[in-house]
Amino acid sequence: MTTHMKSGGELVVDALEAHGVKQLFCVPGESYLEVLDALHDSPITATSARQEGGAAMMAEAWGKLHGTPGICFVTRGPGATNASAGIHVAQQDSTPMILFIGQINSQLRHREAFQEVDYGQYLGSMAKWVAEIDSTERITEMVSRAWSVATSGRPGPVVLVLPEDTLSGQAASTKVKPFTTLETYPSPEHLQQMAHRVEQANAPIIVLGGSRWCADSVAQVEAFAEAFALPVACSFRRQMLFNHHHPHYAGDVGLGINPKLATTIADADLVILMGGRFSEVPSQNYELLGVQSARQQLIHIHACAEELGRVYRADLAIHASPKALAAGLSQLSPTIKPSQERVDHVAHCHNNYQQWSTLPTQAHPGAVQMPAVMAHLSNSLPADTIITNGAGNYATWIHRFWKFSHYGTQLAPTSGSMGYGLPAAVAAKIAEPHKTVVCFAGDGCFQMTMQEFGTAVQQQANIIVLVIDNGMYGTIRMHQEHHFPSRVSATDLVNPDFCALAKAYGTFATQVTHTDQFPQALEAAMAAGTPALIHIKLDPQALTPNLTLNQIRDGA
């Protein structure tokens, strides 16, 4: 029997194909030429980004949308350090991702060779697992293990380091058995205990969060909430987990939380954390529940056993993955009819959300009025539009006023990473070419990764980018004016002509300096047939939906 020998690069690509990879993101480098050569004959599509941070964020966004690892390849040293921004997003957002890094020849290690980095030390605190593949024969094994680590329990990023001699070496080709992510099912006893606690509560609330969800499991949670008369809130930047038009939706638990929702959670007699960690932002600096001993009766459900009890001591801790949990919830039926008090509680929570998410009627400073812009977007965009954003005050207009109604329509970093929106939009459009994809970005946020607009053009990813330009790092200015009024330092921005940049790529771009111009601008962008950019000039005073810069400065 003839043994079929392959290069390490070919074995890496074979392993990815066996695990169903159809798309990866990269910035090419000489340290992994054998992989690039193997991709030449592979059905896997490789999208080259302009900078490794953008490539890693694209892979992370792909992982968010699909629930399977987003794949990214970068070269050693500077390539890997650039990519670390995307690794951090994947870590804090619990997103499955595998980053492959080219590495120096293993015979040259520990001499500080050209671009040599110890990736275990550098990325070990951010990734679930970092490993250097020290022999060609172990490539298939290590890729399979990386897949299992990235997707199991609490998903996250894995880093595989590929020395040049490992990739150029030869090894026998072996059949790859792909890993299938395991679901952890809740016990019937735990489900019955939860149902009993829910029925006994007067003012309970669910907070949905985390990853590993799917459209079907979200629908099953919705049915459970209806049957047991439960209001449902979504954790920070997980708003797509529940239909905002549903009468049981209570709002999002994140930055700038609705004060009434915060009070509802603080006063609840039962809080169900379903799928998420409830970290600093949603927990309002860990004060909404209290650490270790929650003031409320607490049920915490998570796919990772290590997360249960790590921060919160729950009255009932359930180790279950979201899909398995949702299947279990669908088997539960109320034993008593929900009281009128419970029905009123649900209606009260939704009414609070509706009031909070109603666009303001009072004008803010400037000729461009964001309430009118948001209203027109709501009336014009398809309900399944994918919305992406990075970080900045501009994102408040999405989080508070956009009504997410479909699963898989939000790509936003819980890590608060600036620059995320544009590369995420590129990945989303490649993943869902028939859907409308709109990226919100502040002027500072956009300039973190604006070179990836070129990637969108090259990939014919016809996204729409809204650059909300107020000429400064608005969030930092807000905090600066609050803590050190009128002492402006390092937060002003001198910006380029964003439209000229987009037009240099041969795409559609237009500037909006008055609200009346926006409807025509959006219509033209949607019809452009290319990536499109709308540059919205916002008055610097319009810093938040509620407060002007002067009001923040004066302590309003």
Q: What is the pLDDT of residues 376-434, one digit of tens each?
A: 999 999 999 999 999 999 999 999 999 999 999 999 999 999 999 999 999 999 999 99
Q: What pLDDT, on the 0 to 100 scale, is given for residue 555?
A: 78
At 417, give phi and psi (nearest 5°): -80, 120
* Least confident residue range of 49-53, 103-107, 283-287, 441-445: 103-107
Take residue 156 and report the two structure tokens written for it: 């996250």
pLDDT of residue 2 exceeding 60, the answer is: no
In this prediction, residues 292-316 reach a mean pLDDT of 91
At 199, give phi and psi (nearest 5°): -70, -25
pLDDT of residue 1 exceeding 70, the answer is: no
Take residue 195 and report the two structure tokens written for it: 């149902």
Distance CA 467, CA 513 (A): 12
Tell me if residue 360 falls in helix, strand or coil.
coil
pLDDT of residue 178 exceeding 70, the answer is: yes
What digits encode the pLDDT tens for the residues 458-513? 999 999 999 999 998 888 888 888 889 889 999 899 999 999 999 999 999 999 99
pLDDT of residue 202 exceeding 60, the answer is: yes
pLDDT of residue 556 exceeding 60, the answer is: no
Q: What pLDDT, on the 0 to 100 scale, is given for residue 188?
A: 96
Q: What pLDDT, on the 0 to 100 scale, is given for residue 546?
A: 86
Distance CA 218, CA 208 (A): 9
Distance CA 380, CA 80 (A): 41
Sheet holding 70-74, edge to edge: 45-48, 23-26, 70-74, 97-103, 157-163, 129-132
Q: What pLDDT, on the 0 to 100 scale, is given for residue 110?
A: 84
Distance CA 446, CA 466 (A): 9
CA 507 to chain centre: 27
What digits encode the pLDDT tens for the residues 215-267? 999 999 999 999 999 999 999 999 999 999 999 999 999 999 999 999 999 99
In this prediction, residues 289-299 reach a mean pLDDT of 84
Q: Dihedral of CA 375/381/384/388: which sign?
A: negative
CA 9 to chain centre: 30
pLDDT of residue 133 exceeding 50, the answer is: yes
Percent of the chain with pLDDT over 70: 99
- For the chain, list the domains and their CATH numbers: 5-172 (3.40.50.970), 188-356 (3.40.50.1220), 370-553 (3.40.50.970)
What count of other Cβ atoms lies within 10 Å of the Cβ of residue 213?
A: 24
Percent of the chain with pLDDT over 90: 87
